Amino acid sequence: MKNREILEKTQSVFYRIISRSFAAHKPSHAYLLVGDQTERATLFLAQSMICQQDDLACEECEDCRRIADGNFPDLITYDGLEKSIKKEDIEYIQNEFNKSSLEGKGKIYILKNVEKSSDSAMNSLLKFLEEPLDGVYAILTTKNITKVLPTIQSRCQVIHLLPESKESIRMNLASEGITDEDARILSQLFGSEKECLANQDSEVYRDVKVYALNFIEDLYTNPSNLLINLEISLMKKYKGEKETIRMFLNMVVLGLRDLFHVKHSMSITFVNHIDFLKRFQDDPHLLEKIELLLDTIYTIDTNANLALLLESMVYKLMKGV
């Protein structure tokens, strides 16, 4: 999926603002993107400033690809998190962009995390923004707009980006080549794309996914072996590991929720296991089971003995089978 489609769905305000300005051929000479999720928007905005195939970036032409690869000669990028942005950096940009364009197209400078700039750099940037050069565009990003000089803000088109939602995380993961099912599961389990990517190839995640599906199958087809199977798999391999136990319980909740959703033709998380989910009959106590699992998750941090906690949970689940 292209960034354009993702941004249109997950960053509608940003997308609407730039769509209108580029369609009118009146992009701002400086943008200030505010929030934690600025990378995708920054790239797409930079591509849109150069792309000549459409009002917004086509993401496929040579210029768009070179911007994405960081190989466009009239593009200069500094990141305040890597190294504090200095006055000399701003002066370098000014000197380079006073020269003739290497491409005969727009020139772009990107200052990521601009709040991580020295006072002298901020003042130099302000002067640069006050007297913009034709064909020169600035993209500034910040996680904390209160640390950016109000005078700099006033000379930029300020766009506040939305925080990551479960849906935006899922779409971002899918664009990274992660399978639809894993993108759905990971986006429900973790609070950021970074966490999802850190876990998606882990042995723990793969194990927990198998254990969760096996647990659901035992719950409805072989409840007498529910505890012993859990003990020889999850509890044996990951004894005492609270985060792994929590991931397992959350994944079981997702699976049980899917049992309800699949019966009512609703969207499910385990999309590759729809036939598996359809095997089980309607459960009048399904919501009670989910509530029990959620209570167990809540209790994990206050209970020193995970084994006893899980045993108690299993016995209560078996009573409802």
Report the CATH number that the domain containing residue 222 is assigned in CATH.
1.20.272
* Residues 208 and 295 both lie in one domain: yes
First to last CA, the chain: 43
* Residues 112 and 31 both lie in one domain: yes
% of the chain surpassing 90 pLDDT: 77
- What pLDDT, on a 0 to 100 scale, did the predictor assign at position 244? 95
Average pLDDT over residues 125-154: 93
25-39, 97-111, 130-144, 265-279: segment of lowest average pLDDT = 97-111
Give yes or no for residue 196 having a pLDDT over 90.
yes
- What pLDDT, on a 0 to 100 scale, did the predictor assign at position 99? 78
- What pLDDT, on a 0 to 100 scale, did the predictor assign at position 175? 87
Average pLDDT over residues 116-126: 95
pLDDT tier at 288, thresholds 50, 70, 90? very high
Closest CA to 131 of 98, 104, 102: 98
% of the chain surpassing 70 pLDDT: 98
* Residues 50 and 111 both lie in one domain: yes
Residue 211 in tokens? 């254990």
CB neighbours of 8 closer than 8 A, spacing ≥ 6? 15
- What pLDDT, on a 0 to 100 scale, did the predictor assign at position 101? 63
Q: Are the C-beta atoms of residues 292 and 316 closer than 8 Å to each other?
A: yes
130-134, 136-140, 149-153, 285-289: segment of lowest average pLDDT = 130-134
Give yes or no for residue 27 having a pLDDT over 90.
yes
* Residues 38 and 148 both lie in one domain: yes
- What pLDDT, on a 0 to 100 scale, did the predictor assign at position 80? 95
Better pLDDT: 263 or 23: 23
pLDDT tier at 33, thresholds 50, 70, 90? very high
* Residues 159 and 290 both lie in one domain: no
192 found inside a domain: no
194 found inside a domain: no
* Residues 150 and 250 both lie in one domain: no
Average pLDDT over residues 66-93: 94
181 found inside a domain: no
Closest CA to 56 of 65, 44, 66, 68: 44
The range of the structural domain enclosing residue 126 comes to: 3-163
- What pLDDT, on a 0 to 100 scale, did the predictor assign at position 102? 62
User: Considering its fold, how many domains does the chain have in total?
Assistant: 2
**What is the amino acid identity at position 298?**
Y
- The phi and psi torsions of 67 (rounded to 5 degrees) equal -60, -45
For residue 117, what is the DSSP state?
B
Residue 203 in tokens? 């042995």
* Residues 10 and 154 both lie in one domain: yes
Q: Please, what is the average pLDDT of the chain?
A: 92
d(CA 317, CA 319): 5
Give yes or no for residue 216 having a pLDDT over 90.
yes
* Residues 155 and 207 both lie in one domain: no
* Residues 10 and 103 both lie in one domain: yes
Domain boundary residue, one of 163, 181, 210: 163
- What pLDDT, on a 0 to 100 scale, did the predictor assign at position 38? 94
Radius of gyration of the chain measured on its C-alpha atoms: 26
Average pLDDT over residues 151-176: 91
Domain boundary residue, one of 144, 163, 182: 163
- What pLDDT, on a 0 to 100 scale, did the predictor assign at position 104? 65
